[in-house]
Amino acid sequence: MTPRWPTPSRDALARIRALAERRLEAEEVRAALAVPLGEAELEESRSLIRWFRRRYATPAERLAYVRRAYRRWAAAQPRP
């Protein structure tokens, strides 16, 4: 059975959206990029890359996946 999480309030959703969509200053980005990845994060990244390369073994399969993913993303964007 899937656990049921409480539905977040509109205020909580608005705060999350504001954080997720805020524009970062260049210095914030530089500071974040200057922090090296930890060993656990590196291993998780390597594991995901290995999975992806097994799942989509050829460049053509990888490109087809990216095109599908982009279409899904574009379809989910709000219309102006």
Distance between alpha carbon 54 and the CA centroid of its chain, in Å? 20
Residue 55 has pLDDT above 80, yes or no: yes
The pLDDT score that the predictor gives to residue 8 is: 87
Instruction: Indicate whether this model's pTM tops 0.85.
Output: no
Under the banding of pLDDT at 50, 70 and 90, the label for residue 38 is: very high
Which residues, other chains included, contact 60 with Cβ-Cβ below 8 Å and sequence gap of 6+? none
Q: For residues 65 and 56, is the Cβ–Cβ distance under 8 A?
A: yes
Domain boundaries, the chain: 11-76
pLDDT, tens digit (0-9, with 9 covering 90-100), for 18-35: 999 999 999 999 999 999
The pLDDT score that the predictor gives to residue 16 is: 94
Single-letter amino acid code for the residue at 23: R
Residue range 3-32: mean pLDDT, rounded: 93
The pLDDT score that the predictor gives to residue 3 is: 75
